[in-house]
Amino acid sequence: MNLYSIETGLFKLDGGAMFGVVPKTMWEKLNPPDENNMCTWASRCLLIETGERLVLIDTGLGDKQDIKFRSHFYPHGEDTLEKSLQKHGFTPEDITDVILTHLHFDHCGGAVRLDGNGQPVLTFPNATYWSSSEHWKWALDPNPREKASFLKENILPIMESGQLKFTDQEEIGINTIEVEYVNGHTEAMQIVHIYRDDQTITFCADLIPSHHHVRMPYIMAYDVRPLETIKEKSKLLETAYENDYILFFQHDKDVECCKLDRNERGIYVSETFRLDEI
């Protein structure tokens, strides 16, 4: 099995929304905001090469959104999904499976692109797209809090393609990949555990979006059930510490991976490193 970090570019989100109840005087030292209180975040995906399967976890924002959208989230940087795949010798046609942790635009926007005629088509024409049925229903009938994050142009083309399957109804069929459902950030978000030799690498998605969010009070204001997030994060961190997991961060612009340790104050980040260093 080979693992590749797939950088799809940077974007900005409000610092207060990303750090929740943590005071700005504390979080601004971790990720300094600009004059509009916006902090820069990564949109990092993970590619798994195992046997004859090439599995991509999440797809980033994509590039089909209009100027108004871009003015809210400031996508920038030299990296793109296609360039990052190319860097490792792959094309979108090579991808056999796409696991979408959830359907917020920054996680699934790259799953659909516009063709030369401006029509939506699947970015990965030969792939099976994997979601959870509960989350899919949640996204199709969004609550007012999350409505702006679920964009139909990212979701409906996948459903209409016939290439959509649900992990709670059918096995992915790769014994080294396991999904776990969490409900604090959004309904039935998929956390992905990858088992390679004696290592477990956990794709944390938005349960722990950066290494700063390992600290227990650091819960995003975007979460629909923040107290549930605390329970789910506590459980994952405990398991990860006890079993020496590697955590992979999707939105951390500086840190890709970490390991954990514990002291009298609780579990903390003990070591940070790049995915290609493990």
pLDDT digit string, tens, across residues 140-166: 999 999 999 999 999 999 999 999 999
Q: What is the pLDDT of residue 117?
A: 87
Q: Please give the backbone phi and psi of residue 171, each rounded to the nearest 5 degrees, phi first.
A: -75, 140
Q: What is the pLDDT of residue 68?
A: 86
Closest by CA to 200, choosing from 148, 236, 254, is 236
Mean pLDDT on 193-204: 96
Q: What is the pLDDT of residue 144?
A: 93
Distance CA 96, CA 126 (A): 6
Percent of the chain with pLDDT over 90: 93
Q: What is the pLDDT of residue 235?
A: 98
Distance CA 98, CA 214 (A): 26
Q: Please give the backbone phi and psi of residue 202, each rounded to the nearest 5 degrees, phi first.
A: -110, 120
Mean model confidence pLDDT for the chain: 96
According to DSSP, residue 34 is labeled -
Distances in whole angstroms, Cα of residue 57 to Cα of each of 15, 54, 226: 25, 10, 24
Mean pLDDT on 171-193: 97
What order of strands is seen across the sheet that includes strand 97-99?
Answer: 2-14, 38-50, 53-57, 97-99, 128-131, 164-166
Query: Is pLDDT above 90 for 234?
Result: yes
Q: What is the pLDDT of residue 8?
A: 97
CA 257 to chain centre: 13
Q: What is the pLDDT of residue 118?
A: 85
pLDDT in tens, 62-82: 988 888 888 889 999 999 999
Q: Return the CATH class of domain 2-277.
A: alpha beta
According to DSSP, residue 264 is labeled T
Q: Where are the domains of the chain?
A: 2-277
Query: Is pLDDT above 90 for 246?
Result: yes
* Contact indicator for 101, 131 with CB cutoff of 8 Å: no
Closest by CA to 81, choosing from 102, 58, 99, is 58
Q: What is the pLDDT of residue 253?
A: 97
pLDDT in tens, 82-122: 999 999 999 999 999 999 999 999 999 999 999 988 899 99
Mean pLDDT on 173-190: 97
Distance CA 134, CA 151 (A): 17
Distance CA 39, CA 162 (A): 38
Closest by CA to 42, choosing from 274, 198, 201, 232, is 274
Give the count of beta carbons closer than 10 Å to the beta carbon of residue 258.
Answer: 23
257 has which bridge partners?
Answer: 248, 273
